[in-house]
Structure 1
Amino acid sequence: MEGRIIDIKGKKLYVEYSSSLENRPTLVFLHDSLGSVQLWRDLPVKLSETTQCNVLSYDRLGYGKSYPMPIHERPVNYMEMEADVLNDLLAELNINNAILFGHSDGGTIALITAAKYPERIAAVICEAGHIFVEEVTLKGVYDAWEAYKTTNLPERLQKYHGDKVEMLFKAWTETWTRDDYRSWNIEYLLKDITCPLLFIQGDADEYGTLDQVEKTITQVSGSAEKYIIPNIGHTPHKEASELVLEKSAEFIRKNS
């Protein structure tokens, strides 16, 4: 897919968008806290072809091929703000029947967007998303910070984010480990999610317990199902790619 930069209220975002299928939903891929369009690899194309849906992937500001994020501390509600940016992007592209597929931070942003902008969102696949902060999440962040200091992780990330790596890594780790972030919680929004939801999680996720799944699917207003994959960690779409592709395609066909 051809990529381009789109200006969304001053934020210059890298976008890949294929919209050749008339009267079909658009799958929208929302990457994690260290992710990018490129890091989805072939999942967007495979899922698009399997379900006959249009597809949109984009790098959030500061990630991948998008412009750098401003140099300042992230506010506690940064993911709520990212949901607003996504809504503006969907409006710019005239997408009113989006099926969101979000991983980790992207999964959380998908849930918030579905709650705040239900008229645009047809369904949500949330993979390893968070609705509150857990000790296991913080341990995962500290472990990642240690890996950043002691391994070639910065060089590996540089391949996808260029000279933005240090800023995005600090933005992620410093926000999640701040004292004022401990009380971050979006459970109050879940009742406003009326579209169908699929929550995918590995039962060995190093960043979250199954409480994240249970407390989400029991509090939304629409239909909700969970798909827990044994012995899989935080990235099921990479660790169990065929299972995730098959389950996601089944869910999308049922809701499109």
Structure 2
Amino acid sequence: MSELPRVEVDGAAYEYEDVPGTGSGAPLLFLHEGLGSVGLWRGFHRRVAEATGRRAVAYSRLGHGFSDLPPAKRTIRFAHEEAATVVPALVEALELADPVLVGHSDGGSIALLAAAALPVSGLVVLAPHVIVEEIGLRAIEEAKRAFESGDLARRMARHHRDAEVCFCNWNDVWLDPAFRDWDLRPELGGISCPVLGIQGDADPYGTAVHVGAVQEAVRGTTDLLLCHGGHAPHLERPGLVAATVAGWLRDR
């Protein structure tokens, strides 16, 4: 079990870590990847908090880490549902006025949707998804094989209350034939805050088309960091990415 505090939203408890800030900048809310959790940020949120003096909050979605399990299987509208209900409820419950959203992968998609509807001070997206690419589907199919016959299930069990629930709620949605038409691009025009997009050049789950679509569609200023690496640039290039995010935040 996690020793992290929990906050209740609509009758469900979410684990979270709240790193205090020392300055007056907008707080940061971190939204993890499809198989992630607070712990699987590997301290990135704490490093950014230390570098910027800002309060940083990371939480685990239902079925991730040691938050409660979800009441039902996730639907192909999962990102929209999280952005419309859970994110604003957490912002209110944890008093995160006009936060900067920092999202990785599926968390980046949720952050994009939330930023289009909520008052936010900025948006950082790491390897976000805005459409379904064949390259990503192949990687997700490979992950399914690794879970069913490899050691992925065992490794995930160290980090999640129920590894199977966590995995299937991610994998089943992405491999649902109805999900192939999923496309966030029409909604990106609602984003008016400054945006920083970060993308690795060897990401098996997606290409630079995603951050390119964000840059093209949003109404706010956009900065991009295209770096060498895969799907987790903040873990593969931690010094570069943390310094880039901290530097970008100095003006926000």
TM exceeds 0.5?
A: yes
1:4 is matched by which residue type in structure 2?
P
The within-5 A match list for 1:104-123 is 104-117=105-118, 119=119, 121-123=120-122
Contact 1:136 1:207 in 2 (8 A): yes
The partner residue of 1:247 within 241, 244, 248 is 244
Instruction: Determine if the alignment matches structure 1 residue 17 to structure 2 residue 27.
Output: no
Contact 1:19 1:26 in 2 (8 A): no
The partner residue of 2:205 within 188, 204, 207 is 207
Separation of aligned partners in 2, 1:52 and 1:182: 41
Instruction: Determine if the alignment matches structure 1 residue 180 to structure 2 residue 192.
Output: no
2:237 is matched by which residue type in structure 1?
A
Contact 2:7 2:15 in 1 (8 A): yes
Contact 2:30 2:58 in 1 (8 A): yes
Alignment partner, residue 145 of structure 1: 144
Aligned CA-pair RMSD: 1.3
What is the CA-CA distance between 1:9 and the residue it aligns to? 1.2
Separation of aligned partners in 2, 1:15 and 1:183: 32
Contact 1:26 1:95 in 2 (8 A): yes
Contact 1:25 1:53 in 2 (8 A): yes
| Aligned-partner SS, 2:241 | helix
| Aligned-partner SS, 2:45 | helix
* Partner deviation per Cα, 1:194-226 (whole Å, 9 max, x = no partner): 010011000111001111111111100000011
Q: Structure 1 residues 22 and 9, CA, compared in 2 at 3 Å: closer, same or farther?
A: farther
Alignment partner, residue 82 of structure 2: 82
Separation of aligned partners in 2, 1:31 and 1:240: 17
What is the CA-CA distance between 1:62 and the residue it aligns to? 0.8
2:233 is matched by which residue type in structure 1?
P
| Aligned-partner SS, 1:218 | helix
Separation of aligned partners in 1, 2:141 and 2:58: 29
* Count of residues in Structure 1 that have an aligned counterpart in Structure 2: 249
What is the CA-CA distance between 1:240 and the residue it aligns to? 0.8
What is the CA-CA distance between 1:150 and the residue it aligns to? 2.5
| Aligned-partner SS, 1:124 | strand
The within-5 A match list for 1:20-99 is 20-21=21-22, 23-72=24-73, 74-84=74-84, 85-99=86-100
Contact 1:198 1:225 in 2 (8 A): yes
Structure 1: gaps of 5 or more residues: none
Structure 2: gaps of 5 or more residues: none
Identity of aligned pairs, percent?
34
Separation of aligned partners in 1, 2:236 and 2:150: 21
| Aligned-partner SS, 1:180 | helix
Question: TM-score scaled to structure 1, two decimals?
Answer: 0.94
Separation of aligned partners in 1, 2:47 and 2:170: 29
Alignment partner, residue 160 of structure 1: 159
Question: TM-score scaled to structure 2, two decimals?
Answer: 0.95
What is the CA-CA distance between 1:20 and the residue it aligns to? 4.8
* Partner deviation per Cα, 1:91-118 (whole Å, 9 max, x = no partner): 112211211111100111111110011x
